[in-house]
Structure 1
Amino acid sequence: MLPDFRGSSLQTLGYQIGIALTWLAIVGLLAEAAKRFGKAENEVIRKVVHIGTGNVILIAWWLKIPLWVGVSASILFSAIALLSYYMPILPNINGIGRKSFGTFFYAVSIGVLVAWFWSINLPQYAALGILVMTWGDGLAALIGKRFGRHVYKLWDMQKSWEGSLTMALVSYAVSLLILIGTIGNIWQVWLISLVVALVATGLEAFSKFGIDNLTVPIGSAAISFFLSQLLLP
């Protein structure tokens, strides 16, 4: 049986935050190990961190971490992300001078979704949005880099059809698993997941300055929520 750390006491809050920080520390150690001993490329290390940190939303959902904690953490990590573009605070994620605010947008999107869906007691939609970005974008980048042979350009951005297909399939799977788990296995859930996957893939294709780290999670969560309100009995 999983331990029950839910509640409002200071001790319980300490357990909740401690578990979340422990997970983030593990992700950081894995990234550092991949860099030092596995000689992994910088892009692979970035995606290890990208995928690993995003799963903290599941811990927050499971432990029912308070809204104010999630939003405060988002603000803190957003500030750290901004500083990291000018100082070597997060060397495994950003390079100095990197023309992308993806890490900053990632932290902001978590705060926005926690503030929105925790406040209406529907955290599954926040988890859906973040995990679509976490797994969809993360695996799309890795697959596209390794196996992408059929490229296309969107403005001055180069993508691969292999990467975009990965984004669509993973987004669909993530949405379907969360919605079936919280709503049930009904036809509306399959349709909503399909729409989310298509929209998320379109948003991910436009990733100028890392803006997809903001548009994909918020867009995916918003679409799944509003379609659920519209289609579900």
Structure 2
Amino acid sequence: MALPEPTVAIAAIWVLFILLIAWVVNRFANGEAEIVRKIVHIGTGNVILLAWWLNIPASVGIIASILASVITLLSYRFPILPGINSVGRQSLGTFFYSLSFGILIAWFWYLQQPQYAALGILVMTWGDGLAALIGQRFGKHKYKVSGVQKSWEGSLTMMFVSYLITNLILIGTQGNSWQAWLISLFVAVVATALEAFSFLGIDNLTVPLGSAALAFFLTQLVF
């Protein structure tokens, strides 16, 4: 059997490294499951950058997404990923997160525009991840959307991080222009609105897909 390509091996090593860190934290974090989930959430999301920069084949990303989606679904019933999914937990967020990778890679690798896949995933990875951590620790001004409690501190964090990520990617690929700054603002507002509606973790699918799609279509429109 042929050895995996170096680019695939690098991505696999990165994911395993993040999972190892999550295991260590889960082992010694005294039940702080949310810390473990966010370490994995933020850490694994950055694999999309490796896939983009190293030009990993779309087929590899899609297959990895399918496998991860199946494993996460099973983990809701069996303790496959302790600390990341709790058995019986009323959220499909981890599954939606895995699924979003495959959809975005299939879509934007086909269009030869991988930067938009990276944009969508990173908005979710860093925006939602930091919003949750800031909101839980410093969120004093609460509001509810469809019965899910959020904080204005967390939502503002989501908007700021989404804007920063979108702007950096668009400037890096399209050049510094007023269009890039304006598109980034639209994406940040929409991503924040989508993140606020997080019933059953659906934001882990709607945020990356919505952010990537909006950035792509607006870029085609104004550039």
Same fold (TM over 0.5): yes
Return the offset for 1:35: 2.4
Matches within 5 A, 1:212-223: 212-223=203-214
1:71 matched residue in structure 2: 62
Alignment partner of 1:31 out of 22, 44, 63 = 22
Return the offset for 1:87: 0.8
1:202 maps to amino acid: A
Q: Equivalents in 1 of 2:37, 2:29: separation in Å?
A: 14
Q: TM-score, normalised on structure 2?
A: 0.97
Aligned partners of 2:58 and 2:105 also within 8 Å: yes
With over 3 angstroms needed to count, the CA separation of the structure-2 counterparts of 1:157 and 1:18, relative to structure 1, is: same
Return the offset for 1:18: 1.0
1:5 matched residue in structure 2: none
1:130 maps to amino acid: I
2:219 matched residue in structure 1: 228
2:134 matched residue in structure 1: 143
Q: Is the counterpart of residue 209 in structure 1 residue 200 in structure 2?
A: yes
With over 3 angstroms needed to count, the CA separation of the structure-2 counterparts of 1:211 and 1:48, relative to structure 1, is: same
Q: Equivalents in 2 of 1:38, 1:214: separation in Å?
A: 28
Q: Equivalents in 2 of 1:65, 1:87: separation in Å?
A: 31
2:100 matched residue in structure 1: 109
1:6 matched residue in structure 2: none
Matches within 5 A, 1:5-154: 13-39=4-30, 41-154=32-145
SS of 1:159's equivalent in the other structure is: strand
Return the offset for 1:155: 2.2
1:160 matched residue in structure 2: 151
Q: Is the counterpart of residue 186 in structure 1 residue 172 in structure 2?
A: no
1:165 maps to amino acid: L
Q: Equivalents in 2 of 1:111, 1:218: separation in Å?
A: 11
SS of 2:144's equivalent in the other structure is: strand
Which structure 1 residue ranges, 4+ long, deviate > 2 Å from structure 2? 10-14, 35-40
SS of 1:199's equivalent in the other structure is: helix
1:204 maps to amino acid: E
Over the matched positions of the two proteins, sequence identity in percent amounts to 64
Q: Equivalents in 1 of 2:125, 2:42: separation in Å?
A: 5
Q: Equivalents in 2 of 1:157, 1:43: separation in Å?
A: 16
Unaligned ranges ≥5, structure 1: 1-9
Q: Equivalents in 1 of 2:146, 2:116: separation in Å?
A: 31
Return the offset for 1:12: 8.4
Aligned partners of 1:13 and 1:65 also within 8 Å: no
Alignment partner of 1:197 out of 177, 188, 213 = 188
Return the offset for 1:79: 0.6
Q: Equivalents in 2 of 1:39, 1:190: separation in Å?
A: 43
1:113 maps to amino acid: L
With over 3 angstroms needed to count, the CA separation of the structure-2 counterparts of 1:222 and 1:12, relative to structure 1, is: farther
What is the aligned residue count? Answer: 223
Q: TM-score, normalised on structure 1?
A: 0.93
SS of 2:5's equivalent in the other structure is: helix
Return the offset for 1:39: 3.7
Cα offsets for 1:55-110 (capped at 9, x unmatched):
00001011101011111111111111111111111112100000111111011111
Cα offsets for 1:104-146 (capped at 9, x unmatched):
1011111000000000110000000000000000000000000
